[in-house]
Structure 1
């Protein structure tokens, strides 16, 4: 059988998908029918999808069905036509470990604007139930005069409401 693949890399790392790549083994067993198998270590009942699905001849695979903000280890095996006969001996592998990224939170819903005074309004919203990896930690409100959107200002808050002050009567504002 061939030796382990070399240089296992994570080419892309997204909340639910990764792309893994590797170099061919140093020793192919003197054969030209090298193929690769990728397996997830300790993934339990996870329903992962590998693309391409089986007996890889290319040195890249996309793995889908991962959970956001989760640690994974993948083993990459190099096999050839005599590997099955030699299964009694341990096959060599290259492992790669990673942690998937956080999911992007959904946009807030039920946005309301309440006039507090002639110079202020309170903007409030509801957080979505589909906030991904852990929800939004901060919201950005862009606010400015509608006639000159280049002069908008961004306000940041972790709360689900914000009080905008310093407004001028008769001026139309835009809020994003």
Structure 2
């Protein structure tokens, strides 16, 4: 009797392109957990814990999707999708918004007194193969007054 060199993956399980044919099938991770946010004027620091289910993989990365929401209308739009009055700086993610290897990010240059929603998703090498929506967790924050510059 010969053993199979390659087996088909069950539904919702996948092999990434670089995985050898005999590698076990894996799945996308669940959402990150335990999100903590800290607002400092017009910046926010976000930290979270790894997903409870890694999908059987160790190559977890994180994406942070930012939306700003107007107080009165409840309408939300992607951060930076419209021009800022007064020529303000664009929203900046440190170290970056997509493909984070560590479970934290700082977001700078937000608008004062604005509601923001940050959606944090965990991804791995098979996430793009799934037809299911990516699992994410969201946190809502409201920025404070922007700091004033002291002049002598």
| Stretches of structure 1 lacking an aligned partner (at least 5 in a row) | 110-176
Task: Tell me how far apart the structure 1 counterparts of residues 33 and 48 of structure 2 sit (CA, whole Å).
Answer: 6
Deviation string 1:6-61 (CA, Å, 9 cap, x unpaired) is 01110x31222111011110100000000000011223336321111131110100
Structure 1 stretches of 4+ with a deviation exceeding 6 A read none
Q: State whether residues 42 and 145 of structure 2, in contact with CA within 8 Å, keep that contact through their aligned partners in structure 1.
A: no
Task: Tell me how far apart the structure 1 counterparts of residues 106 and 147 of structure 2 sit (CA, whole Å).
Answer: 20
1:4 to 31, 36, 43: 31
Q: Counterpart of 2:54?
A: 28
1:58 to 84, 88, 102: 102
TM-score, structure 2 normalization: 0.64
SS across alignment from 2:127:
coil
2:44 to 4, 7, 18: 18
Q: State whether residues 43 and 106 of structure 2, in contact with CA within 8 Å, keep that contact through their aligned partners in structure 1.
A: yes
SS across alignment from 2:129:
coil
Residues 1:84 and 2:110 aligned together: no
Corresponding pairs, count: 107
Task: Tell me how far apart the structure 2 counterparts of residues 104 and 16 of structure 1 sit (CA, whole Å).
Answer: 8
Task: Tell me how far apart the structure 1 counterparts of residues 34 and 56 of structure 2 sit (CA, whole Å).
Answer: 21
- 1:101 Cα offset (Å): 1.2
Higher relative contact order (CA 8 A, sep 6+): 2
Q: State whether residues 3 and 25 of structure 1, in contact with CA within 8 Å, keep that contact through their aligned partners in structure 2.
A: yes
Q: State whether residues 15 and 67 of structure 1, in contact with CA within 8 Å, keep that contact through their aligned partners in structure 2.
A: no
Larger radius of gyration: 1
Please state which structure has a larger fraction of its residues in strand. 1
Q: State whether residues 32 and 122 of structure 2, in contact with CA within 8 Å, keep that contact through their aligned partners in structure 1.
A: yes
- 1:107 Cα offset (Å): 5.5
